[in-house]
């Protein structure tokens, strides 16, 4: 599986399935209008090259864990994600970064070219 899009079109929260975090063949996950709860023990996502999160509910620790685990990531987009206050990005292969939030947030870049 190269691409994966999760798009929640209901009014209720949709949790990202655990199977997503165990998949090693996803290269381009796009997530919209869902809740991202990243397991403490990740086994997949090592092939992710491009990650798009748009209007996703995710706390700072889960976002940081996801970004850190996807160490092959070249493109990261964080668009109007909820509950994000401190974004720490450690992505040594990153070449494109888009962050758009409607409120102020602290952004720290670590190990970014």
pLDDT band at 55 (very low <50, low <70, confident <90, very high): very high
**Best CA proximity match to 79, nearest among 56, 103, 108:** 56
| Residue with the two structure tokens 């758009």 | 100
Overall number of domains in the chain: 1
pLDDT of residue 96: 95
Question: Rounded mean pLDDT of 37-58?
Answer: 91
In the chain, where do the E strands start and end? 3-7, 28-32, 50-54, 75-79, 86-90, 96-100, 106-110
CB 61 within 8 A of CB 83: no
Q: Show the domain range for 66.
A: 3-110
């Amino acid at each position: 599986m190269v691409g994966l899009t999760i798009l929640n079109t209901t009014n209720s929260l949709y949790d990202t399935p655990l199977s997503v975090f165990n998949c090693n063949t996803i290269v381009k996950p796009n997530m919209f209008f869902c809740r991202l709860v990243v397991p403490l023990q990740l086994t997949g996502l090592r092939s992710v090259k491009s990650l798009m999160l748009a209007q996703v509910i995710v706390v700072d620790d889960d976002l940081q864990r996801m970004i850190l685990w996807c160490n092959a990531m070249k493109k990261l987009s964080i668009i109007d994600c909820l509950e994000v206050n401190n974004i720490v990005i450690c992505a040594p292969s990153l070449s494109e970064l888009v962050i758009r939030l409607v409120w102020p947030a602290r952004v720290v870049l670590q190990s970014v070219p």
